[in-house]
Structure 1
Amino acid sequence: MDDFRPKIAADGLKFIIPLAAVTWLFAVFGCCMFSLISGVLTGFTIFFFRDPNPNIPEGQNLVLSPAHGKVVSIKTSVEPDFLQKEMQCISIFLSIFDCHVTRNPYPGAIKSTKYKPGKFHLAFSDHASDENERFSIMLETENKQNIVISLIAGFVARRIVSLVKMDDKLSLAQRIGLIRFGSRVDLYLPKDVNLLVSLGDKVIGGQSIIGEFTAK
């Protein structure tokens, strides 16, 4: 059934419908220039809120990208919201031209969520992870491993929309949220995950492979 759902994020309809209505009204009253401008804005908004179904790769123990964008940081750092221990942190920057629907990187159950108000530094800056507004989700896998996904608002993006709640059991690549108009996602993984991405890689949410849990 998922293949037949509209490929537009539901949260975007509150922007798209009014813009389309204004475009139509301008056209009806012969305001061609305003109709053109409004039409372009409507088209961009539809493009921004697109929600394509990913081609989920086959394989066991794969960790997928939670977002479309560019890998701007790979480092070992202390996860600040839940575990307070060193983990591998992969940061993905989403420009206004990327799809902003975020997806679950690995099957598991939500054990905790946390909203942290903050600043709105540019999402690709070093300060964004620590100081910007964010919504974080901690997952527990079947093997009792923990993964943390932090949705971070940027200079332009000032609204984080969560599509999940506590105790939800998430499937691979399930939609978990949306960040409007330019943002960042930090993915915290255990140290025994074998990373398969490099700095500067372009990734696709729910499709690109970030890493793989080592078999035990």
Structure 2
Amino acid sequence: MSSQIVDNRGNGEAGWSWPAIHPEGRKYGLAVFGLSLVFAFLAWETLAWPLAFLSLGVLAFFRDPVRVTPQGEDNIVAPADGLVTLIEQVPPPAELVSDDGQGGEGLGEEPVTRVSIFMSVFDVHINRSPMAGTIKRVIYVPGKFLNADLDKASEENERQHILVERADGRRVGFTQIAGLVARRIVPFVKPGDTVAAGQRVGLIRFGSRVDVYLPRDTQPRVVLGQKMVAGETVIAEMSQQPLIEGVSQ
């Protein structure tokens, strides 16, 4: 489905289709399937069939479905599919705090609200920009591979920080964090790129987490345990601080 404008008045078209497979995953799926064919040729069916099913799982992991991003300059949308596991006030990461040395401002040192989205291996792992703007920083930090659901994963795991700035200077930072199984963070953007809200900016292989750092005058519109859809779920509105409550049922 090509990009199109749809609205809540019924304009536009919608229909189900098989999601595309991102090129990053095709080589892995085909490699596993090729190995299954080798074992099938050798009559080792006890290995051939599991590998054939595994190749389908690998392709499913790298699926890249079309998303419809709500339009609105103050919307901050979820950068990742998954479950909201943490919402807390924390200082921004050191890599996003200060001036970049070339006149580019960071998020500052005062605590901000961090929303952590945990992605299981069953979630789509394509990450998207939380808002429209210019990519100001893409900073990769090597580290450990702890369980991404742990709070300390934000400081100790392999991660990549991205800072997006709107035309009016408002900034949102987010961090892609590798987990127990995730072993590579793949960026699609670089500093200076202009992105739209919901645009694909990278992926993390095999289970991980994304932290979003909201502006100081902004509170999330999501609650713990809520399921996020990357590029579609509005997690906050710039300069809005509503109290949102949810019922687990």
TM-score, normalised via structure 1 length: 0.93
| Alpha-carbon distance in structure 2 between the residues aligned to 1:2 and 1:162 | 23
Superposed displacement of residue 129, structure 1 = 0.6
**Alignment match, 1:148:** 173
- Secondary structure of the structure 2 residue equivalent to 1:44: helix
1:54 paired to 2:45: no
Superposed displacement of residue 214, structure 1 = 3.2
Measured at CA, do residues 17 and 67 of structure 1 come closer, stay the same or move farther in structure 2, by a change above 3 Å? same
Q: Does structure 1 conserve the Cα–Cα contact (< 8 Å) formed by 2:19 and 2:63?
A: no
| Alpha-carbon distance in structure 2 between the residues aligned to 1:116 and 1:181 | 18
Measured at CA, do residues 22 and 2 of structure 1 come closer, stay the same or move farther in structure 2, by a change above 3 Å? farther
| Alpha-carbon distance in structure 2 between the residues aligned to 1:168 and 1:50 | 24
> 1:15-34 maps to which residues of 2 (within 5 A)?
15-34=28-47
Superposed displacement of residue 10, structure 1 = 1.3
RMSD: 1.9
Superposed displacement of residue 2, structure 1 = 4.3
Superposed displacement of residue 28, structure 1 = 4.3
**Alignment match, 1:179:** 204
**Alignment match, 1:40:** 53
Moved more, 16-25 or 65-74: 16-25
> 1:62-77 maps to which residues of 2 (within 5 A)?
62-77=75-90
| Alpha-carbon distance in structure 2 between the residues aligned to 1:6 and 1:127 | 34
Structure 2: gaps (5+ residues): 4-16, 98-107, 241-249
Q: Does structure 1 conserve the Cα–Cα contact (< 8 Å) formed by 2:19 and 2:66?
A: no
Alignment deviations for residues 54-107 of structure 1 (CA, whole Å, 9 cap, x no partner)? 122244411110000000111111111222422211000011111111001100
Measured at CA, do residues 30 and 2 of structure 1 come closer, stay the same or move farther in structure 2, by a change above 3 Å? farther
Superposed displacement of residue 5, structure 1 = 11
| Alpha-carbon distance in structure 1 between the residues aligned to 2:146 and 2:45 | 38
Greater Rg over alpha carbons, structure: 2
1:82 paired to 2:82: no
Measured at CA, do residues 174 and 5 of structure 1 come closer, stay the same or move farther in structure 2, by a change above 3 Å? farther
Superposed displacement of residue 14, structure 1 = 2.0
Task: Judging by fraction of residues, say which structure has more strand.
Answer: 1
- Whose RCO is larger (CA < 8 A, sep 6+)? 1
- Secondary structure of the structure 1 residue equivalent to 2:127: strand
Moved more, 21-30 or 63-72: 21-30
Superposed displacement of residue 26, structure 1 = 3.4
Superposed displacement of residue 32, structure 1 = 2.9
Q: Equivalent of 1:201, from 204, 207, 226?
A: 226
Alignment deviations for residues 38-60 of structure 1 (CA, whole Å, 9 cap, x no partner)? 11110110111111011222444
Alignment deviations for residues 10-54 of structure 1 (CA, whole Å, 9 cap, x no partner)? 111220111122233334454333221111110110111111011
**Alignment match, 2:133:** 108
1:94 paired to 2:119: yes
User: Percent of aligned pairs with the same residue?
Assistant: 39
Measured at CA, do residues 133 and 13 of structure 1 come closer, stay the same or move farther in structure 2, by a change above 3 Å? same
| Alpha-carbon distance in structure 1 between the residues aligned to 2:19 and 2:122 | 19
Q: Does structure 1 conserve the Cα–Cα contact (< 8 Å) formed by 2:81 and 2:229?
A: yes
Superposed displacement of residue 125, structure 1 = 0.4
State the aligned residue count. 215
Measured at CA, do residues 60 and 168 of structure 1 come closer, stay the same or move farther in structure 2, by a change above 3 Å? closer
